[in-house]
Copies of this chain bind each other. A is one copy, B any other.
Amino acid sequence: MDIKLLTPSDMMKYNARVLLKIMRRKSALSRADASRLLGCSRSTASKLMNYLESLHLVTQIGSGNRGIGRNSGLYQFNPRACCAIGVDVKPDSIQFILSDLSGEILIVQEVENKNMSPEETVMEIHKNTRKLLNESPLPDAQPLGVGVMIPGWVSDDGMVLNSDPLGWQKPLRFRVMLNRNSEIPFHILNDANALVLAESSFGTTGNCRNLMYIENPDDIGAAFTDSNHNLLTGENSLAMEIGKMQVNFKDRFYRTEDFLSISRIQKRWGVTIPELKRAFDSDSEESGEICLQLADIFGQIITQISALLNPYAIMINTPYIKSSQALEHLKKAASFYMETTPLRGTQLLLPSLERSALGGACWAILNSSFDFVIKD
């Protein structure tokens, strides 16, 4: 709760959100439908619909029961009223997308990243952001902001405290750097956090209650959103560090990050990623020892996560686990440690987003006054 009193205008906005929430689930509504569903007077429903129409969040698509009144038109949610930009800064490339409010991608842009410094990265982001906005197929859509995903430790107040993958070791006021001389607001977030938000907003899991996201591009990272897009961030924005969890391999303890980083896997077993992927795509007779051992490590992690968080699903994003057959190896390994009653059998899923940079677009929307289009 903020130290801020509600005003009649806040009340109007809140109530318009309630109406929009209903409209997102229905194909089309008349003002009379709205007043019935909200249990309010026709004039209140009309005011709320007018407010949403003034923001272009709803558009009239025809009329319902003709002749019943002047306002019998049918309205529906218009996700193209606004757009947002997502930026995924990776060690080898920077991905940009422009999306609408429903996560539909309108433009994709990718540039190479050759060890760009933070300053060069800011310039590159500014340049491409302008380009995307100029080329937007929806010139009338209001640009809400830019969400920038950083692989590393990002504080709640927009600092990049450290990013090993990008080679940025010193704390940076990165959000401030991005917002300097910019008209459109920039927001930053750890990449795994952005991905879990986007999966639960735009992905195939729908708006699920508890989602865990594990990614292993090289180092291992994770994120958890509990309900209604609340990230579990812990003290100092440092939760979900599954790299710091302990796993046991051949009776020795390891940190997960010392075991599951791609370079360590390649070094330990002398195996390439395509070979590893092939092993995981095979059934258990043909997958071989390496697959069994790696799956066992995942099985240990999945067991601890299921016990502590019991999420609806754990989504796994690595370069070598890419098929449902591959997930079967992890499920089998986890079942060695876990009781699998019908109630305690966390689902394993593959990521479903078309582009990772949607995470940034989702974060930009959640940081705008249009957050209610995503949030419940």
Question: A interface vs B, CB < 8 Å?
Answer: 1-6, 8, 10-11, 14-15, 17-18, 21-22, 37-40, 44, 209-210, 226, 230, 232, 234-236, 238-246, 248, 251, 253, 300, 303-312, 337-339, 343-344, 372, 375-376
The 7 A-B residue pairs whose C-beta atoms are closest, nearest first, are A234-B310, A244-B307, A251-B251, A239-B310, A245-B307, A5-B15, A238-B310
A245-B303 contact given A11-B11, A232-B226, CB 8 Å threshold:
yes
A337 engages B307 (CB within 8 Å): no
Pick the contact of A235: B2, B210, B305 (CB < 8 A). Answer: B210
A245 engages B308 (CB within 8 Å): yes
A309 engages B308 (CB within 8 Å): yes
**A236 and B21 alpha carbons, distance in the complex (Å):** 25
Pick the contact of A210: B209, B234, B241 (CB < 8 A). Answer: B234
| Seed contacts A5-B40, A238-B344; 18 additional CB < 8 Å A-B pairs | A1-B372, A3-B18, A3-B37, A5-B38, A5-B44, A226-B230, A236-B310, A239-B309, A241-B308, A241-B310, A243-B307, A244-B338, A245-B303, A245-B308, A246-B300, A246-B303, A251-B251, A308-B308
Number of copies: 2
Which B-chain residue is minimally distant from A40 (CB atoms)? Answer: B5
A311-B230 contact given A44-B5, A304-B245, CB 8 Å threshold:
no
Within the complex, the shortest CB–CB distance from A360 to chain B, in Å, comes to: 24
**A300 and B18 alpha carbons, distance in the complex (Å):** 46
A236 engages B3 (CB within 8 Å): no
B308 engages A305 (CB within 8 Å): yes
Within the complex, the shortest CB–CB distance from A1 to chain B, in Å, comes to: 5
A244-B306 contact given A232-B232, A343-B236, CB 8 Å threshold:
yes
Pick the contact of A6: B11, B22, B209, B242 (CB < 8 A). Answer: B11
**A8 and B12 alpha carbons, distance in the complex (Å):** 11
Residues of chain B contacted by A6 (CB below 8 angstroms): 6, 11, 14-15
30 example contacts (A-B, Cβ-Cβ < 8 A) are as follows A1-B17, A1-B376, A2-B18, A3-B37, A4-B18, A5-B15, A8-B11, A10-B11, A234-B309, A234-B310, A234-B311, A235-B311, A235-B312, A236-B310, A238-B310, A239-B309, A239-B310, A240-B308, A241-B307, A241-B308, A244-B303, A244-B339, A246-B303, A246-B304, A246-B337, A248-B248, A248-B253, A251-B251, A304-B304, A304-B308
Which B-chain residue is minimally distant from A45 (CB atoms)? Answer: B5
Which B-chain residue is minimally distant from A305 (CB atoms)? Answer: B308
**A248 and B246 alpha carbons, distance in the complex (Å):** 10
B344 engages A375 (CB within 8 Å): no
B235 engages A209 (CB within 8 Å): yes
Which B-chain residue is minimally distant from A224 (CB atoms)? Answer: B308
**A310 and B231 alpha carbons, distance in the complex (Å):** 13
A22 engages B3 (CB within 8 Å): yes
Within the complex, the shortest CB–CB distance from A199 to chain B, in Å, comes to: 16
A238 engages B343 (CB within 8 Å): yes
Within the complex, the shortest CB–CB distance from A93 to chain B, in Å, comes to: 29
Within the complex, the shortest CB–CB distance from A243 to chain B, in Å, comes to: 8
Residues of chain B contacted by A253 (CB below 8 angstroms): 248, 337
Within the complex, the shortest CB–CB distance from A15 to chain B, in Å, comes to: 5
A21 engages B3 (CB within 8 Å): yes
Which B-chain residue is minimally distant from A307 (CB atoms)? Answer: B244
**A163 and B246 alpha carbons, distance in the complex (Å):** 31
Which B-chain residue is minimally distant from A248 (CB atoms)? Answer: B248
Which B-chain residue is minimally distant from A236 (CB atoms)? Answer: B343
Within the complex, the shortest CB–CB distance from A184 to chain B, in Å, comes to: 27
